[in-house]
């Protein structure tokens, strides 16, 4: 009950103070809004890049042929090596020479007649493995690792433009995050100054509170709540931009498909709500962090 009363008084004081120092509060809110819009963009890009990479990992296969005349034991050995490779998904498909011969036999008449001519498939067919990677960014390394094995004849994957595009998106996401971080620092500084002004106008009150035995928490409380309110108000515009902006963008792209069938943007619902939640959380945290920094100095005796 006591905590509830303290919080209730804190909320009352915080709203009063936002209203009283409206111009500086407004500056803080605008700054937080601007920052969070950039953060929202960074998040949307980052999540989509993540999604592309995952989808691409499933769609881009490294087709690996083992050298001709590989024995069954050697193939088993190779599979063990595959299992130990970090970036390889544990669900490759494989064809033994025998299986490839049989597959050939199910083709048209000509090919199936060719298949019947083959006595020893291991002398004609290579073992074939279709391998998917976990992280498409590292597909080059995985390819090199495979090629370096003695038993491997060749290891190739298709479309290089895909991986290039993904790393481009990835870069864009990272740049956005870097910009957002810098802006975040600016925002914290602005909030610290806003709260300092509030503290200044209530200096007497704080000193009396200290004298009569208010705990640090009680004294801090209204300022932290003020930071919370600034953060909350500051996240309104970014959330609207996220929800409506992303949905409109998605519609515009013909339901999320872009250039190739698998380069697909994340469906806006409920994705945008999650991103919005993160934005609000971040705004509120930045606000509270800024204000607790500002008030800390005044709590030392």
Partner 1 sequence: MAELITLSNVNKKYKNGVTAIYDLDLKIKKGEFVFIIGGSGSGKSTLIKMLYREEKPTSGEINVGGINVAKLRNSRVYKLRRKLGIVFQDYRLLPQSTVYENVAFALESIGAKSSDIRIKTLRALELVGLKGKIRNYPDQLSGGEQQRVAIARAIVNDPKLILCDEPTGNLDPKMSLEIVKVLEEINKTTGTTVIMATHDKDIVNKFKKRVIAIKQGRIFKDYEEGKYDNEAI
- Report the interface residues with partner 1, using CB under 8 A: 1-3, 5-6, 9, 204-205, 207-216, 218, 299-301
Query: Scanning the structure block, which residue is given the tokens 């980052």?
Result: 46
Environment class of residue 52 by beta-carbon count within 10 Å: exposed (0-12), middle (13-18) or buried (19+)? Answer: buried
Measured from the CB of residue 200, what is the shortest distance to partner 1 in angstroms? 15
The HSE-up count of residue 153 (CA atoms within 13 Å, CB side) is: 14
Q: Please identify, using beta-carbon distances, which residue of 10 and 234 lies nearer to partner 1.
A: 10
Q: How far apart are CA 105 and CA 51, in angstroms?
A: 39
CB of 210 to partner 1, least distance (A): 7
Q: Which is nearer to partner 1, 61 or 291 (CB)?
A: 291
Quick one: tokens of 219?
């004294």
Judged by beta carbon, residue 46 or residue 294, the one nearer partner 1 is 294
First to last CA, the chain: 28
- Give the distance, in angstroms, between the CA of residue 36 and the centroid of all CA atoms in the same chain: 16
CA distances to 135, 139, 155, 190 from 144, in Å: 15, 9, 8, 50
Q: Which is nearer to partner 1, 13 or 170 (CB)?
A: 13
Shortest distance, position 293 Cβ to partner 1, whole Å: 16
Find the shortest distance in angstroms from Cβ 292 to partner 1: 14
CB of 188 to partner 1, least distance (A): 23
Q: By C-beta, is 138 or 210 nearer to partner 1?
A: 210
Chain centroid to CA 267: how far?
15
Sign of CA dihedral 106, 108, 111, 117: positive
Nearer to partner 1, 1 or 117 (CB): 1
Residue ranges in the chain assigned as alpha helix (H): 2-20, 22-59, 72-84, 97-105, 109-117, 139-147, 160-201, 203-212, 216-234, 236-240, 246-252, 268-296
Q: Which is nearer to partner 1, 128 or 220 (CB)?
A: 220
Least distance (Å) between residue 226 CB and partner 1: 18
Q: Which is nearer to partner 1, 10 or 173 (CB)?
A: 10
CB of 44 to partner 1, least distance (A): 42
CB 136, min distance to partner 1, A: 51
Q: Which residues contact 85 (CB under 8 A, 6 or more apart)?
A: 142, 145
């Amino acid at each position: 009950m006591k905590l509830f009363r303290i919080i209730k008084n804190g909320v009352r004081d915080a709203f009063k103070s936002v209203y009283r120092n409206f111009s500086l509060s407004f500056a803080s809110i605008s700054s937080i809004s601007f920052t969070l819009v950039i953060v929202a963009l960074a998040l949307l890009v980052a999540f989509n890049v993540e999604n592309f990479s995952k989808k691409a990992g499933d769609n881009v296969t490294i087709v690996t042929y083992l050298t001709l005349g590989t024995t069954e034991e050697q193939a088993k050995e190779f599979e063990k090596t595959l299992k130990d490779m970090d970036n390889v998904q544990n669900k490759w498909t494989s064809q033994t020479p025998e299986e490839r011969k049989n597959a050939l036999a199910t083709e048209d008449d000509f090919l199936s007649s060719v298949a019947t001519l083959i006595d020893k498939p291991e002398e004609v067919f290579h073992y074939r493995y279709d391998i998917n990677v976990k992280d498409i960014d590292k597909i080059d390394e995985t390819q090199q690792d495979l090629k370096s094995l003695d038993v491997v004849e060749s290891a190739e994957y298709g479309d290089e433009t895909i991986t290039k595009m993904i790393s481009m998106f990835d870069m864009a996401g990272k740049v956005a995050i870097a910009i957002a971080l810098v802006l975040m620092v600016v925002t914290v500084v602005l909030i610290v100054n806003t709260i300092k002004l509030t503290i200044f106008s209530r200096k007497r009150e704080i000193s009396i509170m200290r004298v009569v035995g208010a705990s640090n928490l009680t004294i801090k409380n209204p300022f932290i709540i003020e930071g919370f309110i600034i953060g909350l108000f500051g996240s309104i515009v970014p959330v609207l931009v996220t929800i409506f902006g992303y949905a409109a963008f998605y519609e515009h792209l013909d339901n999320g498909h872009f250039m190739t069938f698998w380069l697909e943007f994340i469906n806006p619902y409920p994705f945008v709500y999650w991103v919005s939640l993160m934005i609000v959380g971040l705004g509120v945290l930045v606000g509270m962090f800024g204000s607790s920094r500002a008030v800390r100095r005044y709590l030392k005796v």
